[in-house]
C-alpha cells in the first residue's frame, strides 16, 4: 500500500501541494485527475522522492520513504516503476539498450534472458521493429511506449504513470490502456496514474480522485465517477465548455 499523509510542497511562494492525504491499496488502479499545473507530476515525484516533500509522510508498504536513508531509499525504489511525463530516455542509447538498461545495470539476468525479456515488452507496446532506433529518430508517442516498456520490464510492485497516453494516437492509447489492465490482472501490479485523459480514466480507473487547489477534494469509484452528475465528470467536461463560453463572450 502507498499511504500519503498530510504532504505539503511549495516552490518558494508557490504552494503546490497543500495537505494531501491518500491511500492507494494494493492491486488498485488509481487515477488522479486535475488541471495543468496543479501539481500532479510533483506529487508523483514526491512519492518516489525525486522531489522532497516539505512536510508529511509517504509510506511505501510500511516504510516512510520521506525519512529513508540513501540505502533504504534505493531499496524502496526497487518496488516502484515510474513512467515520467517527459519520457526520459537516454539519447545516446538505442531502444534495446534503453529498455534493457535497468536489467543490465543491476546485472539482474544473463544477456540471453535480458534479450528475450526486452523483446517481450517491446512486443507488448508494438515497438520491436524499432529496437535499433535512437530516441531522436522516434516520435513522441513512440518514445512514450519505449519508456513504458522500460518501466514495466522490472515488473515492480507499483507503477506510477504520468500522462501515459498524452501525445498518443487512439490505437496506441488503447494499447497502453490494455497493458495497464493486463499488468494488474497478470502481475497484480498496483497502478497510480495522473492524467487529463478522460478515456484513459474511464477504461482503467477503479478509483478516481480529483486534485484541486493543492489537495484531493474528491475520490470516487468508477461506478460513480463518470455519471454526468459527478463532480469528476463535470471537471473533465465543464472546464473546456466554460473556456469556450468565455471566449464566445469575449470575441
Ligand atoms: N522543480 C520545480 N521548481 C519550481 N517549480 C516547480 C518545479 N516543478 C514543478 N513546479 C511548479 O509546480 C506546479 C505544479 O507543476 P506540475 O508539473 O506538478 O503540474 P501538473 O499538474 O503535472 O501539470 P501538467 O498537467 O501540465 O503536466 C507548477 O506551478 C510548476 O511551475
Ligand atoms: Mg505533469
Q: Is the pLDDT assigned to residue 190 strictly greater than 70?
A: yes
Write down the residue that cell numbers 455519471 correspond to.
227
Q: With b meaning 16 or more CB within 10 Å and e meaning fewer, what string describes 36-68?
A: eebbbbbbbbbbbbebebeebebbbeeeebbeb
pLDDT at residue 183, rounded to an integer: 82
Tens-place pLDDT, residues 204-235: 999 999 999 999 999 999 999 999 899 998 88
Q: Answer yes or no: is pLDDT of 25 > 80.
A: yes
Q: Which atom of ligand 1 is nearest to the CA of 196?
A: 25
Give me the residue spans of the domains in the chain: 1-79+194-251
Residue nearest to atom 26 of ligand 1 (CA): 36
Return the percentage of the chain with pLDDT > 70, whole number.
96
Q: Look at residue 134 and tell me whether its pLDDT is greater than 90.
A: yes
d(CA 69, CA 121): 32
pLDDT tens by residue, 151-175: 888 889 999 999 998 878 888 888 8
Whose CA is closest to atom 14 on ligand 1? 39
Q: Helices (DSSP H) in 82-197: which residue ranges?
A: 95-105, 111-124, 140-152, 170-187
Pocket of ligand 1 (CB under 6 A): 11, 14, 16, 34, 36-42, 85
pLDDT at 29: 95
Closest-approaching ligand to the CA atom of 39: 1
Residue 98 has pLDDT above 80, yes or no: yes
pLDDT value of residue 40: 95
Tell me the mean pLDDT in the region 119-144.
91
Mean pLDDT of the chain: 90
* pLDDT for the residue 7: 97
State the pLDDT confidence band at 238, using cuts at 50, 70 and 90: low
Ligand nearest to the CA of 161: 2
> How sure is the predictor about 239, in pLDDT bands with cuts at 50, 70 and 90?
low
pLDDT value for 182: 82
Tell me: domain 1-79+194-251, CATH 3.40.190.10, correct? no
Place of cell 516512510: 64
Give the number of the atom of ligand 1 that is nearest the alpha carbon of residue 163: 27
Ligand nearest to the CA of 214: 1
Q: What are residue 246's DSSP bridge partners? A: none
Nearest-atom index, ligand 1, CA of 39: 18
- What pLDDT is attached to residue 96? 96
Residue 38 CA: nearest ligand 1 atom is: 21
pLDDT attached to residue 201:
94
CA of 197 to the centre of ligand 2 (A): 12
pLDDT of residue 61: 96
Amino acid at each position: 500500500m502507498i499511504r500519503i499523509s498530510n504532504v505539503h510542497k511549495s516552490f518558494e511562494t508557490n504552494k503546490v501541494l497543500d495537505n494531501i492525504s491518500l491511500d492507494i491499496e494494493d492491486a488498485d488502479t488509481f487515477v488522479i485527475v486535475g488541471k495543468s499545473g496543479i501539481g500532479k507530476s510533483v506529487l508523483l515525484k514526491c512519492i518516489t522522492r525525486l522531489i522532497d516533500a516539505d512536510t508529511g509522510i509517504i509510506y511505501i508498504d510500511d516504510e516512510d520513504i520521506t525519512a529513508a536513508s540513501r540505502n533504504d531509499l534505493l531499496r524502496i525504489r526497487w518496488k516502484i516503476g515510474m513512467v515520467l511525463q517527459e519520457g526520459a530516455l537516454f539519447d545516446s542509447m538505442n531502444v534495446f539498450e534503453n529498455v534493457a538498461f535497468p536489467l543490465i545495470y543491476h546485472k539482474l539476468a544473463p544477456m540471453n534472458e535480458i534479450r528475450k525479456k526486452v523483446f517481450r515488452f517491446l512486443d507488448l507496446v508494438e515497438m520491436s521493429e524499432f529496437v535499433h532506433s535512437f530516441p531522436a529518430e522516434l516520435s513522441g508517442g513512440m518514445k512514450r511506449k519505449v519508456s513504458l516498456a522500460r518501466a514495466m520490464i522490472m515488473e515492480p510492485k507499483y507503477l506510477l504513470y504520468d500522462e501515459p497516453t498524452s501525445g498518443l494516437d487512439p490505437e496506441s492509447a488503447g494499447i497502453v490502456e490494455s497493458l495497464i489492465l493486463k499488468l494488474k490482472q497478470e502481475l497484480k501490479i498496483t497502478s497510480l496514474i495522473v492524467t487529463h485523459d478522460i478515456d484513459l480514466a474511464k477504461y482503467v480507473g477503479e478509483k478516481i480522485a480529483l486534485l484541486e487547489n493543492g489537495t484531493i477534494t474528491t475520490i470516487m469509484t468508477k461506478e460513480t465517477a463518470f455519471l454526468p452528475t459527478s463532480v469528476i465528470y463535470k471537471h473533465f467536461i465543464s472546464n473546456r465548455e466554460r473556456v469556450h463560453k468565455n471566449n464566445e463572450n469575449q470575441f
